Structure 1
């Protein structure tokens, strides 16, 4: 298996200059190769297999940076190009913009050109860079690659990829949790608990508006505008860091307690583009939360079950199974089952139904697998 640890690095001025040059060269080689591929395809209707080495004579500055970083840019372009031809819905590769505030490049371990030791990280062409290693690397982890990135506020980071041996032993699922998406609370679970999400973007929105307003009034290209842009980037960075911290802690709590989590397979992108929910959907970042929860469950041999989005979780009575079609309206937050008389909170009832349906789907799959192996069924 593979895992990556992200650490902040503190390059000196020369190293910063080389990092920025490498970011630019990686972007430039990607764009030049893509432009040549497009031109070649228009002329011949065939794919051009070009490499960074073909451009170094004409553009000598490519020789000044890490050649593996350029090779990785070629691999990324080739993958994007093939993905488009295999499935046009993925979209045609775009040219990389010079204005993108987040810049990065990836280099691979070849002949011990990368080392991590004594609070320093050795990188090709750069040498040793000071690193803030806030966590120990477990024994047996093999370093494979490093991605250097710079965020909008100007900070540099190294994301170090490791390979390690890990056999995932799937557990017998005993504890189940259903989670229904909530625009306001992030989620409501089948035990009646809410995430108590703090809405970090909404809380900081006024401050962000003030800083962005100042930025918009400044002259383009001025030093004051450059300073103000960093201030705006720092506000965005704080929002993202607070959100990420909250979600990592919450997903870890759930993954440690439950063997199986059952959720609804929602189209978050479609939801953000409709009903004026864009800011709220992007603020709580439910998709990112589910991704964190998924890998934390997987590494422990636990399960995340996706229930079909068309399953009527909010319409079914979790006690008797009666389907109340009148609850389709989102303004109805509570309802009484006409058949058994149970009073339901819309979100909690939906979470219970998702838990029951997810449990059924998972146990059926386990039974099928065991039946195929000739093992006694649950």
Structure 2
């Protein structure tokens, strides 16, 4: 059994919307207040504050008459925000992440509820302090009783609930097909079979509209209602782009996992590549990191193998026929002929074939199990 989150959109009543606004505000305030206190302790006194000390600080904060309004909402999401903060600090101390950031009012708002602060009965979900169920658009059923939920309000003003459930993955029938994938910009991915996915360029589709709305936003007076309305319009366009991109990524990753027993893909340093100012927007729009992440967890669920190739493997410069390796092959050269065996290569298809060969070789040399990275 594993954990799986099911995400649904819901439409709160005016009373629920007010309650959630208060909850988001309290969660954000407590998170930022404790973060400021922990930061002062860390940088001024060199002390690493643990979760118990932070929880004690929260108790003192709620007992202060000046902050009695913190008791108007459920205490669970406030307490959960400290657990999330503790995890962020642990990742920072162990070198996996940067120092935790302060929560912003106009960013995505989140509130997490454990089983003591919500109930799920007869297909209806209730949260603490609210007598009416959430008006959820159930697009699919749950795999088990929820263990925790997270309510999200994005920058476009939409409400979502993410429900965490126990999930038992069922391996798919074994397939005889294997594939290698080369990631690119003109085509988001190219397979070793010669299939090219194309690139819908979702950001470019809405580029003119987005630029116009951003100019309108820049002209509005800060703090005014008109600026808030203009900000919401910009956020909705960004949400549309993100939804289109995510939908295309899910469809592509699902198709590859369904059809192939082994998927070989190159490991790219996306964070490093995105620092290139000329290509940053296009690399971000390609969604490479999310694409590989989806391949990984979907392979694990389906009983497939995902093999990652070292990023320094010369997949583009190596001839997939005889193994000849060019010393230098500029990106401007999209097709080339091998000087040894005279085979004519499409640069990307040739790279995908080499990735597949290297991946299968690595898999045969000791990689066992399913959903692995070789």
Query: Quick one: structure 1 residues 219 and 169, their matched pair in 2 at CA, closer, same or farther if it must change by over 3 Å?
Result: closer
Matched, 1:346 2:347: yes
- Greater CA deviation, 188-197 or 220-229? 220-229
Which of 255, 273, 276 aligns to 1:274? It is 276
- Greater CA deviation, 89-98 or 226-235? 89-98
What does residue 210 of structure 1 align with?
212
TM-score by length of 1: 0.90
Between the aligned partners of 2:29 and 2:301, the Cα distance in structure 1 is 38
Query: Quick one: structure 1 residues 116 and 201, their matched pair in 2 at CA, closer, same or farther if it must change by over 3 Å?
Result: farther
Between the aligned partners of 1:290 and 1:116, the Cα distance in structure 2 is 37
Matched, 1:134 2:136: no
Which of 249, 252, 262 aligns to 1:250? It is 252
Between the aligned partners of 2:344 and 2:168, the Cα distance in structure 1 is 50
TM-score by length of 2: 0.91
What does residue 10 of structure 1 align with?
11
The runs of 5 or more residues in structure 2 that have no matched partner are 370-374
Between the aligned partners of 1:173 and 1:325, the Cα distance in structure 2 is 37
- Greater CA deviation, 41-50 or 358-367? 41-50
What does residue 54 of structure 2 align with?
50
Give SS of 1:210's match. Answer: helix
- 5 Å-filtered alignment, 1:300-315, equals 300-315=302-317
What does residue 358 of structure 1 align with?
359
- The count of aligned residue pairs is 360
Matched, 1:60 2:68: yes
Give SS of 2:134's match. Answer: strand
Residue deviations 1:239-276, cap 9 Å, x none?
11111111111111111000111111101111111261
What does residue 80 of structure 2 align with?
72
Between the aligned partners of 1:131 and 1:252, the Cα distance in structure 2 is 26
How many Å apart are 1:171 and its aligned residue? 7.9
Between the aligned partners of 1:94 and 1:226, the Cα distance in structure 2 is 23
CA contact (8 A) 1:9 1:156 kept: yes
Between the aligned partners of 2:249 and 2:282, the Cα distance in structure 1 is 16
**Alignment root-mean-square deviation, CA:** 1.9
How many Å apart are 1:200 and its aligned residue? 0.8
- 5 Å-filtered alignment, 1:146-295, equals 146-166=149-169, 174-274=176-276, 276-295=278-297
Give SS of 1:133's match. Answer: coil
What does residue 125 of structure 2 align with?
121
Residue deviations 1:159-183, cap 9 Å, x none?
11101344x7698774211111111
Between the aligned partners of 2:104 and 2:244, the Cα distance in structure 1 is 28
How many Å apart are 1:43 and its aligned residue? 5.6
CA contact (8 A) 2:113 2:149 kept: yes
What does residue 376 of structure 1 align with?
none
Which of 78, 97, 106 aligns to 2:104? It is 97
Between the aligned partners of 2:271 and 2:337, the Cα distance in structure 1 is 32
Residue deviations 1:300-324, cap 9 Å, x none?
1101111000000011110111112
What does residue 372 of structure 2 align with?
none
Which of 315, 323, 326 aligns to 2:325? It is 323
Between the aligned partners of 1:132 and 1:344, the Cα distance in structure 2 is 49
Query: Quick one: structure 1 residues 142 and 215, their matched pair in 2 at CA, closer, same or farther if it must change by over 3 Å?
Result: same
Between the aligned partners of 2:68 and 2:349, the Cα distance in structure 1 is 63
How many Å apart are 1:341 and its aligned residue? 0.5
Between the aligned partners of 2:246 and 2:199, the Cα distance in structure 1 is 12
